[in-house]
Amino acid sequence: MLGAGVASADSYAGQKYSDVTSALGDAGLTGVIATREGDSLSNDDCIVTHSQQAPWIKGDDFSPVTDTVLLYLDCSAAVATASTPGNSAASPEGRAAIAAAKAQAAQDQATAAANQAQPKGKG
């Protein structure tokens, strides 16, 4: 008779590689890239799709490795263009990326307008 497996959430899935490696370092762990899909982004900007504890053993006593986490990266662009692979603009991920880019552009524009409205200092 088989029992049900234990489900656990992946703490790192959906985060940028740079953020994950920083969090792992803070926890005394090392992240190792297991796979990398796409070539549109630098490693630091890639998204971790999932992670797992390294299943390795080491040494003469075959001790399990407990300080290494395997990271699976998606390095495709947030939204596909004619020349760059990525999420479809119609997909939930693509729509979210477009909305985030528009929100960031609006914030940048508001900040620039506020800075321009500031009186110039006399020098």
pLDDT digits (tens, 9 = 90+) for 19-53: 999 999 999 999 999 999 988 889 999 999 999 99
Residue 3 inside a domain? The answer is: no
Q: Are 70 and 24 in contact (CB under 8 A)?
A: no
pLDDT digits (tens, 9 = 90+) for 58-110: 889 899 989 999 999 999 877 777 777 777 888 888 788 888 888 888 888 88
Output 115 or 121, whichever has higher pLDDT.
Answer: 115
Collapsing DSSP states into helix, strand and coil, what is residue 9? coil
Residue 5 inside a domain? The answer is: no
For residue 34, the model assigns a pLDDT of 96
Residue 92 inside a domain? The answer is: yes
Q: How many domains does the chain have?
A: 1
Residue 10 inside a domain? The answer is: no
For residue 119, the model assigns a pLDDT of 75
Residue 4 inside a domain? The answer is: no
Rounded Cα–Cα distance for residues 85 and 78 (Å):
9
- Quote the strand ranges of the chain, DSSP E: 30-37, 47-53, 57-58, 63-64, 68-74
Structural domain of 30: 17-117
